[in-house]
Structures are given as structure tokens and as C-alpha cells.
Amino acid sequence: MENKSEVVIVGGGIVGLTLAYQLLKRNLTSSIFIIDKEEKLGMHTSGRNSGVLHSGIYYPTNSLKAKVCKEGSERLKSWIKDRNLSINKCGKIILPTDKKLDNQLDILFDRGLKNGSKLEIIDKNRLNKIVPEASCITGRAIWSPNTSVVKPLEIINSLQDELTEKGVNFLLGNQIDKINTEKNSITLKNGLKLFYKYLINSSGSNALKISKYFDIGNNYQLLPFKGLYWKLKKNCPFKPKCNLYPVPDLNLPFLGVHFTPSADLNPSVSIGPTATLAFGKENYYGLNNLEPYDSLKNISTLLKQYLLNRGGFKKYVHEQAPLALLPFMINSAKKLIPEIQAKHVLLSNKVGIRAQLFDKNQSKLENDFICERIDNSIHILNSISPAFTSSFALADKIIDQFFLKIN
Ligand SMILES: Cc1cc2nc3c(=O)[nH]c(=O)nc-3n(C[C@H](O)[C@H](O)[C@H](O)COP(=O)(O)OP(=O)(O)OC[C@H]3O[C@@H](n4cnc5c(N)ncnc54)[C@H](O)[C@@H]3O)c2cc1C
């Protein structure tokens, strides 16, 4: 069986869906197929994240993240408002958990302002009015009133429905068998051969693997980092009403374990995510979906980074890697809310895996989004946080910088 479509998007996560949305909205095509290997969308990162709409604080000014995060957040908020979807406009506090981190607060504040984020430095009194239980070692914290929390799956489902109504064809539950880059065709395992004029590879943790058909991304290695979450029990004597984050290590792409209220009417509070190496791109639980060969390569890469202490890697291994174990996680959470104890939390069944790229030539974790084009194909690699927040603005950047340049 054969079919053809002007645009074929591989991967129906938030990145692929918002790209389809913006291509239609800007009348750049009316012929889109979205292929996803799962029967249902949102099975991977876009349905397994913290749901925080970041306001653009952390990112160096010239990064792609800085350019799209704040705008993306505002556009997603207004999209959600028009559709009456759930949102908790609770704001966020960033706290130094150690006196040595106090100067990082100024760096973050400065970066945030440059990126257009609305921020304030607040004192202990203000902080304790917002979160009475929070610790305040240095007497200062950052308050970001525009950070919100949403329900990622609600957004994914709503986007899918809208795109279907607008005529996008979804081919779900379909694995790719072959890609013929010369004939511009993709053959699926069910035998369907699909010809395209433009191909967009937004397949998250598989994007690097697919990009290799096009001889792109050869200098990268995928390091999957697992994020576990806990939840505050219903009878827990405290319940932060806003996001509570530590000042992170700015060398690493992880924000540290934080408290996040949900976007429910009666919000529950999650704690996490942790960041430990996963033994496969989809190794969410126990020994499921193990990839032993890749895992050995990844362990060896991380070991080298550790021994040479590149990018502050020793600090990561000592401080963040053990957080998957409850006592270490509680110790880390105590730095934000001193009264928290193991009896206040239970393990959540939500687990996410970050598809983090490692640059083999420069021996470093890639902190920014990476998008590459070759001929008529575009590849979105390293769609790490805050790609969910940024998605609408990121889609327009990709269209302007890559799609419109294809002859
Ligand atoms: C623990 C965690 C917490 C996070 N928290 C936040 C947050 O609070 N705020 C924020 O903005 N971002 C957050 N992020 C990041 C955010 O979730 C991701 O940046 C975003 O979801 C990436 O979307 P995506 O579409 O690129 O990938 P995905 O959502 O993974 O979508 C890729 C899709 O491609 C499909 N696919 C894969 N391989 C193939 C194939 N061979 N053929 C066909 N289809 C394929 C998959 O089934 C999937 O549906 C978090 C991430 C993690 C892991």
C-alpha cells in the first residue's frame, strides 16, 4: 500500500503536534501525516513531565531556550485559556539551599530579567507569607509570579483532537521499518509506504536514531536520565501552594528535586524528579525495556566524565544521582522544607525519562535544544525541558529557520 503527504511528522509528542498546528495555522500546507509508534499519544516525555510552564529564568541569554521559553509559555497559557483547560497559576519560588549558592540567585535573577521573565527578589517575610514552611538560609529567594502548572496529557489530547478536525492524518501504533532518503519515502512495519515532500523528525528519545538515516547527529550520544516522583500524602501537615525549587547547578540540565502543586481543583503536591541514568530510553520501570549495549556505553561515558570531573560531574554524582533513594531525596527536600519526613511521602507511579544528548566531540552534556536540517528533512534533537513550555514558539522558530528555507 502506498500513500503520499506533503509533510510527514515522525513523533506525536508536544513538539510534533505544535509544529503541525503552526504549519496549518500559517497556511504552509494542508497535507500532514503524523506517525507515532504508540497507539495513544503522550506515552513518553510529553505525558510524563512535571507540567510546569517555566517563565524563562535559567537559560543563557543567547540560547534557543531563552529565545522561546517565555513566549512559548505565554502562548500556551492563552491557548489553554481559550479552551478552558486546567491551569494552576501558582507561581514559583527559587531558594538557595546553601549559603555558597546565594550569589547564583543574582545570576539567575539577571538571566531571568534579560529573558523577559517577571521576577522579584523577596526576603524571608515575603517568602514565609507565600510558603510558611519554606527554609530561607540566606534570607533571600526569587519569586516568579508567572510560572504555572498544567496537565500535559489534557493538552496533548486536545491538540490531537483539534488537528484531527483540521484534517491531519494520524498513523498511530506504527513502527518505522525503513526510510529511503533518496526516494523521500518511509516504510512502516505494517507495509504502508509513505512518500513525503518534507520530513520532520520529532520522535523525542528516538530522534537521534532516526537522524542517523540522514547522516546527521553523528557527534551525539543519547544519555537517558530517569526522573522519579514522590507525592505528599493527603494527611501531610503542610502543603506548599506554589512551586518550590532549589537554586540549581547551572552547569547541568537538571533543576534539582522540587515541590510542584498539580493543576487539579484540590491540588496534590509532587516532589521530584530525580535524575539517574536509565538503562534504556524507555526503561521506566524495573527491568523493562533494557538496552544493555547502549547502557554499557553510557556508563563508560559517565564514568569518564566523573573521573575527569568535566562539567562539574563529580558534584552531580554525589548530590543528584543518589536522589532516587528515599533517604537521599528526603535530605534534599529538607533543604527546601525542613520539616518534611519520609512518613509524609509516597512514591508516585509517574516516571519520566529525559532524552539528554551528550556531545562526544566536546565531552559535554548539551544544555540547549538542537535542531538540524539536511535537504528536505528537519530533526529536533535534544528536546529536553522546557520544550513543553516553549513548544508553540519553538515550532515557529523551526518553521522560520528551517522549513521555509527548504526549496
Ligand atoms: C521528568 C521530566 C520532567 C519534565 N518537566 C518539564 C516541565 O515541567 N516543563 C517543561 O516545559 N518541560 C518538562 N520536561 C521536558 C518535556 O517533557 C519535553 O521537553 C517534551 O515533552 C519533549 O517533547 P517531544 O515531542 O520532543 O518528545 P516526546 O513527548 O517523547 O514525543 C516523541 C513521540 O515520538 C514517538 N516516537 C518515538 N520513536 C518513534 C518512531 N520510531 N516512530 C514513530 N514515533 C516515534 C513517541 O511515541 C512519542 O509520542 C520534562 C521532562 C522530563 C523527562
Q: What is the pLDDT of residues 363-401, one digit of tens each?
A: 999 999 999 999 999 999 999 999 999 999 999 999 999
* Predicted pLDDT of residue 200: 98
Query: Is 42 a pocket residue for ligand 1 (Cβ < 6 Å)?
Result: no
Instruction: Tell how far the Cα of 194 is from the centroid of ligand 1, in angstroms.
Output: 24
Query: Is 92 a pocket residue for ligand 1 (Cβ < 6 Å)?
Result: no
Instruction: Tell how far the Cα of 102 is from the centroid of ligand 1, in angstroms.
Output: 33
* Predicted pLDDT of residue 320: 81
Q: Which residue's CA is the closest to the ligand 1 atom numbered 26?
A: 204
Cβ atoms of residues 191 and 1 within 8 Å: yes
**Strand (E) or helix (H) holding 222:** strand 220-232
Axis-axis angle for helices 387-401, 64-82 (nearest 10) = 110
Query: Is 282 a pocket residue for ligand 1 (Cβ < 6 Å)?
Result: no
Q: Which residue's CA is the closest to the ligand 1 atom numbered 27?
A: 204
* Predicted pLDDT of residue 263: 98
Fold of 2-405: FAD/NAD(P)-binding domain (3.50.50)
Domain boundaries along the sequence of the chain = 2-405
* Predicted pLDDT of residue 9: 98
Render pLDDT for 14-44 as a digit per residue (tens, 0 to 9): 999 999 999 999 999 999 999 999 999 999 9
Ligand 1 pocket mutation pick from 49, 59, 356 by most atoms within 8 angstroms of CB: 49
Contacts of 298 (CB under 8 A, 6+ apart): 221, 223, 224, 277
Instruction: Tell how far the Cα of 77 is from the centroid of ligand 1, in angstroms.
Output: 19
Query: Is 393 a pocket residue for ligand 1 (Cβ < 6 Å)?
Result: no
* Predicted pLDDT of residue 321: 85
Q: pTM of whole model > 0.75?
A: yes
For 332-365, give the secondary structure using H, E and C.
Answer: HHHCCCCCCCHHHEEEEEEEEEEEEEEECCCCEE
> Which ligand 1 atom sits nearest the alpha carbon of residue 272?
1
Render pLDDT for 255-301 as a digit per residue (tens, 0 to 9): 889 999 999 999 999 999 999 999 999 999 999 999 999 999 999 99
Instruction: Tell how far the Cα of 139 is from the centroid of ligand 1, in angstroms.
Output: 37
CA separation for the pair 73, 176 (Å, rounded) = 32
Instruction: Tell how far the Cα of 162 is from the centroid of ligand 1, in angstroms.
Output: 20
Query: Is 45 a pocket residue for ligand 1 (Cβ < 6 Å)?
Result: yes
Cβ atoms of residues 185 and 314 within 8 Å: no
Query: Is 386 a pocket residue for ligand 1 (Cβ < 6 Å)?
Result: yes
Q: Which residue's CA is the closest to the ligand 1 atom numbered 10?
A: 386
Residues of the chain with pLDDT under 70: none
Ligand 1 pocket mutation pick from 40, 44, 259, 354 by most atoms within 8 angstroms of CB: 44
CA separation for the pair 205, 44 (Å, rounded) = 9
